[in-house]
Amino acid sequence: SRPPQGQGLVQFVLAAHEGQRNTRLFWAACRAYENGFGDDLADALTEAAVRAGLTEREARATIASADRLTMGRGGR
Protein backbone atom coordinates (compact mmCIF):
# COMPACT_ATOMS: atom_id res chain seq x y z
CA SER A 1 0.00 0.00 0.00
CA ARG A 2 1.72 3.10 -1.28
CA PRO A 3 1.69 6.12 1.05
CA PRO A 4 -0.36 8.95 -0.48
CA GLN A 5 2.48 11.45 -0.20
CA GLY A 6 4.58 9.03 -2.25
CA GLN A 7 2.40 9.59 -5.31
CA GLY A 8 3.84 13.08 -5.82
CA LEU A 9 7.38 11.67 -5.68
CA VAL A 10 6.48 9.02 -8.26
CA GLN A 11 4.99 11.69 -10.55
CA PHE A 12 8.14 13.81 -10.10
CA VAL A 13 10.26 10.90 -11.38
CA LEU A 14 7.85 10.11 -14.23
CA ALA A 15 8.15 13.71 -15.44
CA ALA A 16 11.96 13.57 -15.65
CA HIS A 17 13.66 14.27 -18.97
CA GLU A 18 16.93 12.83 -20.19
CA GLY A 19 19.82 14.19 -18.16
CA GLN A 20 17.73 14.66 -15.01
CA ARG A 21 16.25 11.20 -14.47
CA ASN A 22 18.90 9.95 -12.07
CA THR A 23 18.98 13.23 -10.14
CA ARG A 24 15.19 13.32 -9.79
CA LEU A 25 15.03 9.67 -8.77
CA PHE A 26 17.75 10.16 -6.16
CA TRP A 27 16.04 13.25 -4.75
CA ALA A 28 12.65 11.53 -4.59
CA ALA A 29 14.10 8.40 -2.98
CA CYS A 30 15.90 10.51 -0.35
CA ARG A 31 12.65 12.28 0.54
CA ALA A 32 10.85 8.93 0.79
CA TYR A 33 13.49 7.40 3.07
CA GLU A 34 13.70 10.54 5.21
CA ASN A 35 9.94 10.29 5.73
CA GLY A 36 10.08 6.61 6.64
CA PHE A 37 8.43 5.08 3.57
CA GLY A 38 11.37 4.54 1.23
CA ASP A 39 11.12 0.77 1.26
CA ASP A 40 7.38 0.92 0.58
CA LEU A 41 7.92 3.24 -2.37
CA ALA A 42 11.04 1.64 -3.87
CA ASP A 43 9.18 -0.54 -6.40
CA ALA A 44 6.95 2.31 -7.56
CA LEU A 45 9.95 4.64 -7.90
CA THR A 46 11.86 1.98 -9.82
CA GLU A 47 8.92 1.49 -12.18
CA ALA A 48 8.61 5.25 -12.71
CA ALA A 49 12.34 5.57 -13.42
CA VAL A 50 12.21 2.71 -15.95
CA ARG A 51 9.24 4.37 -17.67
CA ALA A 52 11.25 7.61 -17.74
CA GLY A 53 14.12 5.81 -19.46
CA LEU A 54 16.53 4.39 -16.86
CA THR A 55 17.31 0.69 -16.67
CA GLU A 56 15.97 -1.19 -13.68
CA ARG A 57 19.55 -1.81 -12.54
CA GLU A 58 20.37 1.92 -12.62
CA ALA A 59 17.16 2.75 -10.78
CA ARG A 60 17.73 0.18 -8.04
CA ALA A 61 21.33 1.35 -7.57
CA THR A 62 20.22 4.98 -7.25
CA ILE A 63 17.52 4.10 -4.72
CA ALA A 64 20.02 2.01 -2.74
CA SER A 65 22.35 5.04 -2.64
CA ALA A 66 19.53 7.20 -1.30
CA ASP A 67 18.79 4.57 1.34
CA ARG A 68 22.45 4.55 2.46
CA LEU A 69 22.69 8.35 2.49
CA THR A 70 19.58 8.82 4.62
CA MET A 71 20.26 6.01 7.13
CA GLY A 72 19.76 7.30 10.63
CA ARG A 73 17.82 10.37 9.44
CA GLY A 74 14.11 10.95 9.48
CA GLY A 75 11.95 7.95 10.18
CA ARG A 76 14.71 5.38 10.66
Task: Give the mean model confidence (pLDDT) for residues 15-44.
Answer: 96
Q: Please state, in angstroms and rounded to a whole number, the distance separating the CA atoms of residues 1 and 20.
A: 27
* pLDDT at residue number 32: 97
pTM, rounded to two decimals? 0.90
* 75 occurs within a structural domain: no
* 76 occurs within a structural domain: no
Q: What's the angle, vertex CA 15, arms to CA 5 and CA 37, rounded to 5?
A: 25
At residue 27, does pLDDT exceed 90? yes
Count of domains for the chain: 1
Q: What does the pLDDT look like over 36-60, one tens digit per residue? A: 999 999 999 999 999 999 999 999 9
* 29 occurs within a structural domain: yes
The whole domain housing 13 covers 4-70
